[in-house]
Amino acid sequence: MFDQIRLPDTIEIETEYGIETPLVQGTYGKVGDIEIGFEFIGDKSIRIDMSADETPIKYLRLRWNNAHLGNEFRYMNDAFERTYADLYWADITFARRYPWYLLATDTDTTIGVGVKVRPNSICHWTISGDSITLECDVRCGTRGVVLKERLLHVATVVRDIYEGNVYLAHRDFCRLMADDLGIFAKEPIYGFNNWYYAYGISDREQTIADAKYLAGLCEGLDNRPYLVIDDCWQPKTCRGPWIPNEKFGDMTELVNAIKSYDLKAGIWVRFLKNEDESITPNMRFDVSHRTAFEELDAYDDTKDIDLLDPSVPETLEYIRQDIRRIKSWGFTLIKHDFTTYDIFGRFGRSMSTKITSGDWSFRDHHHTTAEIILNMYRVIKDEAGEDTIIIGCNTIGHLIVGYAECSRIGDDTSGLNFARTRDFGVNTLAFRLAQNGIFFDADADCVGVIPGNISWKNNSQWLHLLAHSGTPLFVSVKAGDLDDNEYQAVKDAFAINSEQMDILEPLDWLDTKTPTKWKINGEKVEYDWTIVKD
């Protein structure tokens, strides 16, 4: 597989009844009612299709032998969902999983092996001995999918080799995987998000004050910023129904107030968690789904009783109605959050060994989890339309390509603890920057400013890096909380980021999870991520 794109040496299909090895002749294999086919597409990719009647299929595993490159190569992973300071280059580790794709380099030559975006399975790679294995999870929840003679395009495997700059090789490989499916905003996305100073406590008056403050920071800029209202505006914390609470009141009036400062208005939602009493039981997950959510039990006092099943057409129509309502208020950016967590019962940081657990399925037993998620993303973007920007947060990067202009590529940074910003923000920017402008606009998250918590020496460097990254810059600060020097620094950063013309490249990312050495427009810049106190 590393040397060239070719048919796998071993094929294994795991069903609810056990493991099957199909009889393969050329590019076609069959076992029982299960059929699998391969189609070469040029010399860089191979398409994998599968069909079956009644046999519930869980996994397809493909192994290529004689694939180990040798000890001089190092390997880089991606993540199933967002990153959690868990991307890095390392020597061969047989227990390591490589979600979606992996890169291997000896610094002179870089090889990429992966699957194209929007597969109908959850894919990861492993390396063992001299072999490389692709596992395609085609389950429906944790149960086998019943395809009912339907042809499933499982994934398209891609492989290519590059000489020279490793970072540029990463970008080129992302282009190969993306298949030109990415969609992008007409103007660079940047602005305010109130989460990392408000942490859920805000109101109408504070939002208008923030709008006035942001307008001053972006005075004279042609591309106007977004003011994004995060979790705080709805009646109940972190859940629907998605109507305004008493502190926010008439949302159309609020949006008009924001627009009066020549700003764009954005809003946060969590579509799959909703306590609206009009939602029918059939729109929610079956009760057996609860056994999967050991992490959710500890995180959320309502557990999963108010989670919506996105495989149900009525659920998707309900989400469409939420989007129509939000758009009718005048919002032109919607940030949707928690869908991965609400479906799998865990965040990406807990997916290193299992994507999900328990015994559960969606109400639609005939589509894979990946298909159901893809359809949900498609419905959200379709209803939002071209005039409304979608930011996916806690979404699956490899699946949301083409269904969101922007993706939050890492876990939360912080307005309270710079170690979190350093570990999550810097790591995700370094190792997923190559996806920016190819998969989507890659949002490495906010600069959170709360006086007395994070030293400006630390925050100013994170601000500078993001401003020059060519990716969206969001700042979270309460109106009036910047001193004169900080105010000017943020103003300068917004002026730069409103155009996003800079070219950023990590330099020492082969040796550390949190690079300090970068190149901005060809000039070397060094940052000091040592945590300091004012």
User: Could you write out the DSSP letters of every residue in 279-314?
Assistant: S-GGGBPPGGGGGG-HHHHHH-TTTTTTBB-TTSHH
Contacts of 208 (CB under 8 A, 6+ apart): 254, 257, 258
What pLDDT, on a 0 to 100 scale, did the predictor assign at position 71?
Answer: 81
**Alpha helix (H) residue ranges in 416-483:** 418-420, 427-432, 456-467
Instruction: Give which of 412, 407, 483, 495 is closest to 443, Cα–Cα.
Output: 407
- Reading the block at residue 44, the tokens are 């860089």
> Which letter does DSSP use for residue 225 in this model?
P
Token pair 């589509």 is at which residue? Answer: 367
SS3 224: coil
Token pair 């019943």 is at which residue? Answer: 146
Q: Are 90 and 113 in contact (CB under 8 A)?
A: no
- Reading the block at residue 238, the tokens are 């972190």
In this structure, how many other beta carbons lie within 10 angstroms of the beta carbon of residue 228? 24
CA distance 384 to 151: 30
User: Could you write out the DSSP letters of every residue in 15-55?
Assistant: ETTEEE--EEETTEEEETTEEEEEEEETTTEEEEEEE-SSP
Q: pLDDT by residue for the chain (534 residues), tens digit each?
A: 677 899 999 999 999 999 999 999 999 999 999 999 999 999 999 999 999 999 999 999 999 998 777 788 999 999 999 999 999 999 988 789 999 999 999 999 999 999 999 999 999 999 987 899 999 999 999 999 999 999 999 999 999 999 999 999 999 999 999 999 999 999 999 999 999 999 999 999 999 999 999 999 999 999 999 999 999 999 999 999 999 999 999 999 999 999 999 999 999 999 999 999 999 999 999 866 555 555 554 445 555 568 999 999 999 999 999 999 999 999 999 999 999 999 998 999 999 888 998 889 999 999 999 999 999 999 999 999 999 999 999 999 999 999 999 999 999 999 999 999 999 999 999 999 999 999 999 999 999 999 999 999 999 999 999 999 999 999 999 999 999 999 999 999 999 999 999 999 999 999 999 999 999 999 999 999 999 986
Report the relative pairing of strands 473-477 and 190-193 from DSSP bridges. parallel
Q: Going from the N-terminus, what domains does the chain have, and what CATH number goes with each? A: 10-178 (no CATH), 181-227+411-534 (no CATH), 270-408 (3.20.20.70)
CA distance 226 to 264: 5
Contacts of 403 (CB under 8 A, 6+ apart): 183, 374, 377, 378, 380, 381, 390, 392
- Reading the block at residue 246, the tokens are 């008493």
CA distance 368 to 343: 13
What pLDDT, on a 0 to 100 scale, did the predictor assign at position 298?
Answer: 46
> Cis (ω within 30 of 0) for the bond into 241?
yes
Q: How far apart, in Å, are the Cα atoms of 324 and each of 328, 382, 481? A: 6, 11, 35
With residues binned 3-state (H G I as helix, E B as strand, rest as coil), the percentages for the chain, rounded to 5, are 25, 30, 45
CA distance 211 to 264: 10
For residue 242, which amino acid is it?
Answer: W
Angle at alpha carbon of residue 492, lines to 491 and 493, rounded to 5°:
90
What pLDDT, on a 0 to 100 scale, did the predictor assign at position 67?
Answer: 78
In this structure, how many other beta carbons lie within 10 angstroms of the beta carbon of residue 324? 11
**Alpha helix (H) residue ranges in 498-529:** none
Q: Is the dihedral of CA 427, 429, 122, 166 positive or negative?
A: negative
pTM exceeding the 0.75 threshold for the entire prediction: yes
**Angle (deg, nearest 10), helices 204-217 and 484-497:** 70
Strands (E), 205-252: 226-229
- Reading the block at residue 447, the tokens are 């600069």
SS3 521: coil
